């Protein structure tokens, strides 16, 4: 008997606005999609009144359908769904940055003109740089050497100064460097891996959005990876409280099986990591699983929010991300591909009619210098040259 599953992916990867969502009625099928009424506003009607600033564009990420091309037909029905975000800098970390800055302003911990500093693999840094640019704070980011150069350039484009730390120091090195600089210069340190502002914002926004968008449809599985653990902790807490039968699936790289090891992270008094986790090994999923278990994640684990763990094999994130691009036109990063892989594996064993929501955290353009694009050439290949030569004009022949 065939398994029939509806997959819903909650993707933070594109700058679409939340008010013009464009997802179909839950009763729709791809065969009738063109004639089905859309929940989206009609194209050309506009977003609405102008926003006061770019931070107001964060959140309210709509759901969009996907096809059944990404896994064997026997596991999937003709009806699937996927979501895209409205986050202006194309990452789920836009929510985190907004939460930290707004909470620090409200508490008085962040003062006008004070420099903001954070350690990041890139997405949080880009989002923090955006918020600092919008609100007039100088911004300094520490980032370990292996993370993609595109991220450094984006942060510098947004006005941030980027301090690159040596590869040998891994994630703990960039975190320690940020703390040193904050202590020496009196800067505001975001503490994304420790602050409750992180998960609480996801509890207030991301979790409700997921369940509200399903409009009463039962959510059977929610699949996510972790970076800081904020999405898992906050959205997971809301989902468990309001949809207790939902199975939460947490994924991590098989090469860096920190949670699966059962070994705790040693911590400093402020909750930051005191040392690199012994189970950590280098892996290609940038933004996921630093070389320590973040405190935000640990507190979510302590509440046993996760029901299942999935280990992502080497290469699966890259392969699935490329499949999403080529089959669905969805450009997401390696972490998005890894989460989708976990969602497909979940679908294979799910009962008939299951609804699965998965989180795709960012856009693929952040990975141009990584293994995700290693097989993508800039120059024309033989097939492209053959097409070019099929007519006589304007043929750019390769150099001898």
- What are the tens digits of pLDDT across the range 337-351? 999 999 989 988 888
CA distance linking residue 101 with residue 267, whole number of Å? 24
Cα Dmax for the chain: 71
Determine the length of the chain: 400
> Residue 85: is it exposed, middle or buried by C-beta count within 10 angstroms (0-12/13-18/19+)?
buried
Cα dihedral: 61, 67, 69, 72 (round 10): 100
> Residue 86: is it exposed, middle or buried by C-beta count within 10 angstroms (0-12/13-18/19+)?
buried
- What are the tens digits of pLDDT across the range 15-30? 333 333 333 333 333 3
Write 263-271 long-range contacts (CB < 8 A, 24+). 264/293, 264/298, 265/292, 265/293, 265/298, 267/295, 270/191, 270/194, 271/191, 271/193, 271/194, 271/295
State both tokens at 242: 């309001």
- Domains of the chain, first to last: 5-16+59-90+200-373 (3.40.50.1100), 93-196 (3.40.50.1100)
To the nearest 10 degrees (0 to 180), the angle between helices 230-242 and 206-213 is 50
| Local structure of 33: helix, strand or coil | helix
**Active site (catalytic) residues:** 93, 335
What sign results for the dihedral spanned by CA atoms 69, 353, 218, 36?
A: positive
CA distance linking residue 161 with residue 138, whole number of Å? 9
CA distance linking residue 153 with residue 149, whole number of Å? 6
Tell me what pLDDT residue 64 has.
63
**Nearest 5°: phi and psi at 7?**
-105, 130
Find the DSSP H helices in the chain.
Answer: 93-107, 123-135, 149-157, 170-185, 196-204, 206-213, 230-242, 258-261, 295-302, 316-328, 334-349, 382-389
Q: Which residues of the chain have pLDDT under 70?
A: 1-40, 62-68, 70-86
Looking at the DSSP assignment, which residues form a beta bridge with residue 161? 140
CA distance linking residue 55 with residue 133, whole number of Å? 11
Tell me what pLDDT residue 83 has.
42
CA distance linking residue 177 with residue 184, whole number of Å? 11
Q: Cα separations (Å) of 346 from 17, 163, 341?
A: 29, 39, 9
Tell me what pLDDT residue 360 has.
87
Question: Which residue from 244, 274, 248 is spatially nearest to 343, judged by alpha carbons?
Answer: 248
| Local structure of 149: helix, strand or coil | helix
State both tokens at 240: 């468990």
Chain centroid to CA 63: 15
**Whether the Cβ atoms of residue 205 and residue 238 lie closer than 8 Å to each other:** no
First to last CA, the chain: 57
CA distance linking residue 21 with residue 36, whole number of Å? 15
């Amino acid at each position: 008997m065939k398994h029939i599953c509806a997959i819903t992916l909650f993707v933070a990867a594109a700058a679409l606005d939340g008010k013009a969502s464009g997802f179909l009625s839950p009763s729709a099928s791809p065969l009738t999609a063109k004639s089905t009424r859309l929940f989206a506003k009609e194209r050309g009607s506009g977003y609405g009144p102008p926003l006061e600033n770019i931070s107001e564009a964060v959140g309210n990420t709509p759901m969009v359908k996907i096809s059944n091309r990404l896994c064997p037909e026997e596991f999937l029905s003709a009806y699937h769904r996927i979501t895209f975000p409205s986050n202006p800098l194309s990452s789920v970390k836009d929510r985190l940055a907004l939460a930290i800055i707004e909470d620090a302003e409200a508490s008085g911990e962040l003062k006008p003109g004070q420099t903001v500093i954070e350690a990041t693999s890139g997405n949080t840094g880009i989002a923090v740089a955006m918020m600092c640019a919008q609100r007039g704070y100088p911004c300094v980011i520490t980032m370990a050497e292996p993370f993609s150069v595109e991220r450094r350039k984006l942060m510098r484009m947004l006005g941030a100064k980027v301090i690159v730390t040596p590869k040998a120091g891994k994630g703990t090195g960039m975190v320690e460097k940020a703390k040193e600089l904050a202590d020496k210069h009196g800067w505001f340190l975001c503490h994304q891996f420790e602050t409750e502002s992180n998960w609480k914002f996801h509890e207030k926004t991301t979790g409700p959005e997921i369940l509200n968008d399903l409009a009463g449809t039962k959510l059977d599985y929610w699949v996510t990876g972790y970076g800081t653990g904020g999405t898992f902790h906050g959205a997971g807490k809301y989902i468990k409280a309001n949809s207790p039968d939902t199975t939460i699936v947490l994924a991590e790289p098989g090469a860096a099986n920190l949670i699966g090891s059962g070994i705790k992270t040693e911590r400093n008094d402020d909750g930051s990591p005191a040392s690199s986790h012994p189970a950590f090994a280098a892996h290609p999923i940038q933004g996921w699983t630093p070389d320590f278990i973040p405190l935000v994640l640990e507190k979510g684990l302590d509440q046993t929010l996760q029901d299942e763990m999935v280990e992502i094999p080497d290469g699966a994130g890259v392969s699935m991300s490329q499949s999403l691009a080529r089959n669905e036109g969805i450009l997401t990063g390696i972490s998005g591909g890894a989460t989708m892989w976990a969602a497909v594996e979940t679908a294979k064993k799910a009962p008939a009619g299951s609804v699965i929501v998965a989180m795709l955290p960012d856009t693929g353009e952040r990975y141009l210098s990584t293994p995700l694009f290693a097989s993508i050439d800039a120059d024309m290949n033989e097939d492209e040259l053959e097409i070019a030569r099929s007519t006589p004009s304007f043929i750019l022949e390769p150099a001898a």
